Amino acid sequence: MTSAQVDTENAPKESDEGYERGLGSRQVQMIAIGGAIGVGLFLGAGANIAKAGPSLIVMYALAGVIIFFIMRALGELLLYRPVSGSFAEYSREFLGPFFGYFTGWTYWLMWVVTGMAELTAAAIYVNYWFPAIPQWVTALVFLVILFGVNLISVKLFGELEFWFSMVKVTALIGMIVIGLGVLTFGFSAAGDTAAVSNLWAFDGFFPKGIGSSLMTLQGVMFAYLAVELVGVTAGESENPEKTLPKAINTLPWRIALFYVGALTVILCVVKWTEFAPGVSPFVAAFAKIGIPAGAGIVNFVVLTAALSSCNSGMYSTGRMLRNLADSGEAPAAFQRLSASRTPAFGITVSVLFMGIGVVLNYVVPEKAFGYVTSVATAAGIWTWLMILISHVLYRRAVDAGRLPASSFPAPGGAVCSYIAIAFLLFVTGLIAYDADSRVCLYVMAGWAAALGAGWAVLKSRNPEVTGRREAAPEKVG
């Protein structure tokens, strides 16, 4: 603990890391739900429907099962030792300091580039209502507002994220209910053509072949990015032993309802051939049904999703930089906490990098937005792999009696983690095969080279930091 941190001996609501435990059960639950509903669903599903047709439903379900395996592996680690910046910390403990260093900086990169993309997207959404306002102005305003929220307190961050998620959840449930009403009672302009048979009536369930369906998995995985954010909240949750298992165990029904359920209903109401890349399938469905102001409503929901993602990015990047600084893998200035117990300096630096997105609003073409999201996906896959590999090594240590068992063991032990690792490697192969998304692997290779050079410098200046350290075992729960 640094001198800038306030003594926490007599403050039970603060974590051992100096953070305020300001996230209650209600907020952690909604952060978990919000992490599973993002722009990847609201916008990205349009392009994927055009590629795969109704079979996209199966791809979301398959990826959802893998995400649940990942989150149960993370949950077991979190209840063994709940720490903020958990992915990097577990990589550091079970694979060595270099992997903690690499994972922490890569997760930081994921959220910075995601923040750039989401700010640009949010500006485009506002442009729907106010075309006269320059996009860079809107992006800058949102950047400043969310920056202020994250600096004030973790409680305010949690509250804002709660309401962002509430909007997304309410909107999706409303869309599902309306769609079921159209299917059941046949009202609206879509009533005559809405039918469950739309799932297979137009060239079958796999209209473009299984290969095309599998190629959508990279976009589907992007839609699930941020579901692991629950792990970053561990150090600031009021009661992690209760809130984290509950948030993780409700993941399957959230995926079943918000992804599989919503897409199934929409593809029954509107035949898949009417959806196109670059158009939200939800906007298209509302237009077909003929609901007044439906497009505007969905546009507001998508704006909320973008702001939610950027808000989460600011939150997680500051915590990850502080975790790296605590381990001597980033400048010591990132260790400081503000009077409101937020890593203000780390958040500020991250926001400055996200601000590059504001500058680029004049020149970023549509394809560059796709490149940015593919980089975020590649960084996210690395993070998930580190969670899974750390979990496998943790289970080995528990079986050997070297570490205490977690109070929240993953079902099937390490078997599900092995399955998830194989799946993620398969998706990486799909990314390498696709010419448009392959560029992200080149970017990641450059990023790895830069981090490797940084590690070499760190090792020469501070060799004790790069020596393998074993964390003190601590059973929680």
Phi, psi angles (nearest 5°) of residue 39:
-60, -30
Q: Closest Cα to residue 84, out of 173, 5, 169, 195?
A: 5
What is the mean predicted confidence (pLDDT) over 220-235? 76
Residue 236 has pLDDT above 90, yes or no: no
What is the torsional sign of CA 32, 35, 236, 13?
negative
**In the structure encoding, which two tokens stand for residue 418, read together?**
């092995």
Residue with tokens 């970053």: 232
Lowest mean pLDDT among 140-149, 313-322, 365-374, 395-404: 365-374
pLDDT per position as a tens digit, 384-394? 999 999 999 99
| Residue-wise pLDDT tens digits, 434-458 | 887 888 899 899 999 999 999 999 8
Q: What is the DSSP string of 192-219?
A: TT--GGGGTTTT-SSTTHHHHHHHTHHH
- Among 142-146, 161-165, 452-456, the minimum mean pLDDT is found in 161-165
Residue 57 has pLDDT above 90, yes or no: yes
Average pLDDT, the chain: 82
Whether residue 468 is predicted with pLDDT greater than 60 in this model: the reply is no
* 232-241, 283-292, 415-424: range with lowest mean pLDDT: 232-241
pLDDT exceeds 80 at position 106: yes
Q: Rounded distance, CA 107 to CA 123, Å?
A: 24
Q: Is the pLDDT of residue 88 over 90?
A: no
Residue with tokens 């394809």: 367
Q: Do residues 224 and 40 touch, judged by C-beta distance below 8 A?
A: yes
What whole-number distance in Å separates Cα of residue 62 and Cα of residue 278? Answer: 24
Average pLDDT over residues 401-418: 93
CA atoms of 433 and 57, how far apart (whole Å): 22
Q: pLDDT-based confidence at 20, cuts 50/70/90?
A: low
- pLDDT given for residue 400 in this prediction: 93
More confident residue, 372 or 366: 372
Range from 87-96, 121-130, 266-275, 365-374 carrying the lowest mean pLDDT: 365-374
pLDDT in tens, 29-38: 666 666 567 6
Residue whose token pair is 């890569």: 106
pLDDT above 60 (res 3): no
CA–CA separation, 375 and 334 (whole Å): 25
Tell me: pLDDT of 474 over 60. no
- The number of helices, as runs of H, and strands, as runs of E, in the chain is 22, 0
- Report the alpha-carbon distance of residue 233 to residue 315 in Å, rounded: 9
Q: Comparing 406 with 232, which gets the higher pLDDT? A: 406
Residue 164 has pLDDT above 90, yes or no: no
pLDDT value of position 432: 92
Give residue 414's pLDDT. Answer: 95
pLDDT digit string, tens, across residues 118-137 = 887 788 788 888 888 888 88
Average pLDDT over residues 86-90: 83
What pTM was estimated for this model as a whole?
0.85
At residue 158 the predicted structure's pLDDT band, cuts being 50, 70 and 90, is confident
Placement of tokens 């260790």 in the chain? 335
